[in-house]
Amino acid sequence: MQPDYVPGSINPSDGTPLDPTESTPLSEIEAHVARARQAQKAWSELPLETRARHLTDLAKFILEHHQDAAKIMSMETGRSELECTMSELVSLPAAVQTHIKVARDTLRPKKMPISKIEYPGKSATVELLPRGVVAIIAPWNYPLGNFWKHLFPALLAGNTVVIKPSEYTPRTGAWLWDACQKVLPKDVVTLVQGSGEVGAKLVESGIDALTFTGSVATGRKVSARAGELLIPISAELGGKDAAIVLSDCDLQRTALGIAQWSVHNCGHNCAAIERVFVEDSIADEFVALLGAIFSNLRVNGPNQTFSELGPIQNPAQFDIVDAHVKDASQKGATIVCEGGPTGDGYGWKPTLIDRCTPDMLVAKEETFGPVLAIIRVKNEDEAVKLANDSPYGLNGSVWTRDIKKGKALAKRLHVGVALVNNHAITGTMTHLPWTGVKETGTGVASSQWAYHVFTRPRTLFIDKSSAPDPWWIPADEQLQELADALIERGKGSFMATLKLAGIVSKRVKNINALAKRGTESRASESKP
């Protein structure tokens, strides 16, 4: 039987065909999950510090071989090796150590407060236990980075993991899996390859938790099925991030920052700035400066030594970018930097579009490419209103010299991460939650809050008291008296609080008397 191969095997910077990658047969996916489950018991029983040492060793191994990783990523994404290194490798050591620090605090059993007056002799501790086998389904835009933020906390929590890379970047995922095999215990990380049907089958194969990063349409389907199977899921979906530029901003730094976060990774970033709302009074000057910056940006290609961005990664995304730019032009927008195809692979020059309106595709739908829409506004209130008029809500930023005003406006943005004078930078700060609202998805990546999907809480309750609790059987007048006193205390009665001690004492005597009567009854029945 001939094996199936993963589609999409070309280098997008020059169109060079790549050697095919074998797809995982659907009939074998359950076996991959089973191997991960078999490995999970021993992995979870290791002390946290031992798991942390394993992951520190993994990070060191990856850095020692970072040139190999960058070369494979460059081949699959078309970005330069330098950009791959800067985007997904240089921050890895700090990210891993931060994940470890967060895990030490988050996973430590926590003694919970219990009233010694109302519950004498009792104590409770909450501990977080691993779910079991976690599936990570990742997209093509950051073929390593989109694994880091889920892989490390999942493993630190004591889970084992099945990774499923995008069909567009299978070789990078295979490289990561190979690194895990060389450093971690066997089958702590397993790998499946293929298109969407492989991911769908993985969800059905007995996993205990799931993280999914991808489109809204697919994310809805995956989330719905996970809900039917009662599998906890963290889903990071689309974005249409907005930046608000106020008239008092540092114009040069603002233009540079917005250029950075609009074309970074060719705009293949859920937190890329795709919309800029700039006050009318500085719009001409701001657009001119931004246009000058855009016109000097270089797209990676066959003969390019240094470049600021790579090509569009695949033909489907290329068509979306092209359609959005044409739609804006047809509806009367001003194309400041024309951009467009470079002629090499799926290369696309950065495109700056001024005087956009909310009805244009570039202003309302996720472009996910190196295209930036400028929308001129009268004031900050109009900017906030238009920025929030979106089905997405990942990052949002305000650019101003007035930090107090910027903070106040940022708090009005309907987003998971609100920033002043920067954008998307917290994505590599793994002690901070990476999350969004609306169609951007559910769940959290990074930080202590990420552990909700990777762990389940268990309460350990210990009772050392010798006396029965006063609300135990039997039902009698004193129980009624106790109920009345508790109600009155709840209403704020000081006298009811004073009476409680005496009522409780009577109740305990009655409860013990019930047990004594039972003992005497059994004794009399046993006599000849």
Contacts of residues 225-231 at CB distance under 8 Å and 24 or more positions apart, as own/partner, are 225/200, 229/203, 229/204, 231/203, 231/207
Q: Is the dihedral of CA 129, 135, 141, 142 positive or negative?
A: positive
Residue 194 inside a domain? The answer is yes
Residues 110 and 192 in one domain: yes
The alpha-carbon radius of gyration of the chain (Å, integer) is 29
Whether residues 81 and 225 fall in one domain: yes
The structural domain count of the chain equals 3
The reply to whether 219 and 129 lie within a common domain is: yes
Q: What contacts 24+ positions apart, CB below 8 Å, involve 45-52?
A: 46/158, 48/103, 48/104, 48/107, 48/156, 51/155, 51/156, 51/158, 52/100, 52/103, 52/104, 52/156
Distance CA 332, CA 314 (A): 28
Residue 275 lies in a domain: yes
Q: Which residue, chain included where needed, has tokens 């016109």?
A: 295
One-letter amino acid at 467 equals A
Q: 285 and 403 in one domain? A: yes
Residue 29 tokens read as 């996916």
Record the tokens describing residue 230, joined without a space.
Answer: 């009662």
Identify the domain containing residue 343 by its residue range: 241-391+395-429
* Same structural domain, 134 and 219: yes
Which residues sit opposite 189 in a β-bridge?
A: 161
**What pLDDT, on the 0 to 100 scale, is given for residue 515?**
87
Active site residue 285: no
- Tell me, yes or no, whether 27 lies in a domain: no
Looking at the domain assignment, is residue 419 inside a domain? yes
Per-residue DSSP letter, 139: -
CA atoms of 397 and 423, how far apart (whole Å): 6
Residues 197 and 98: beta-carbon distance below 8 Å: no
Which of 81, 88, 167, 236 is catalytic? The answer is 236
Same domain, 132 and 177: yes
Residues with Cβ < 8 Å from 343, sequence gap 6 or more?
A: none
Pairing mode of beta strands 351-354, 334-337: antiparallel
CA triple 154-159-164, angle to 5 deg: 65
Is there a contact between 141 and 271 (Cβ–Cβ < 8 Å)? no
Q: 487 and 362, same structural domain?
A: no
- Do 280 and 168 belong to one domain? no
State whether 232 and 257 are in the same domain.
no
**Cα angle value 129/133/135 (rounded, 5°):** 125
Question: Could you give the angle at the alpha carbon of 115 between the alpha carbons of 111 and 121, nearest 5°?
Answer: 75
Torsion angles phi and psi, residue 442, rounded to 5? -130, 160
Query: For residue 188, what is the domain's CATH number?
Result: 3.40.605.10
Same domain assignment for residues 218 and 258: no
Domain contains 476: yes
Q: Around Cβ 330, how many Cβ atoms within 10 Å?
A: 9
Query: In the prediction, which pLDDT does 305 show?
Result: 83
Domain end (from 408, 437, 459): 459
**Please, what is the Cα angle at 485 between 481 and 486, to 5 degrees?**
120
User: pLDDT by residue for the chain (528 residues), tens digit each?
Assistant: 556 777 667 899 999 999 999 999 999 999 999 999 999 999 999 999 999 999 999 999 999 999 999 999 999 999 999 999 999 999 999 999 999 999 999 999 999 999 988 899 999 999 999 999 999 999 999 999 999 999 999 999 999 999 999 999 999 999 999 999 999 999 999 999 999 999 999 999 999 999 999 999 999 999 999 999 999 999 999 999 999 999 999 999 999 999 999 999 999 999 999 999 999 999 999 999 999 999 999 999 887 889 999 999 999 999 999 999 999 999 999 999 999 999 999 999 999 999 999 999 999 999 999 999 999 999 999 999 999 999 999 999 999 999 999 999 999 999 999 999 999 999 999 999 999 999 999 999 999 999 999 999 999 999 999 999 999 999 999 999 999 999 999 999 999 889 998 999 999 999 999 988 867 666 666 655
Q: How far apart are the first and last CA of the chain?
A: 82
Whole-angstrom distance, CA of residue 361 vs CA of residue 88: 30
Give me the CATH number covering residue 375: 3.40.309.10
Q: Is residue 46 part of a domain?
A: yes
pLDDT of residue 525: 63
Residue 4 belongs to a domain: no
This prediction has a pTM of: 0.95
Whether residues 234 and 245 fall in one domain: no
Q: How far apart are CA 163 and CA 182, in angstroms?
A: 16
Q: How far is CA 392 from CA 111, 157, 245, 271, 411, in A?
A: 39, 30, 20, 10, 16
Domain for residue 294, yes or no?
A: yes
The verdict on 386 and 285 lying in the same domain is yes
- The C-alpha atoms of residue 172 and residue 179 are separated, in whole angstroms, by 11
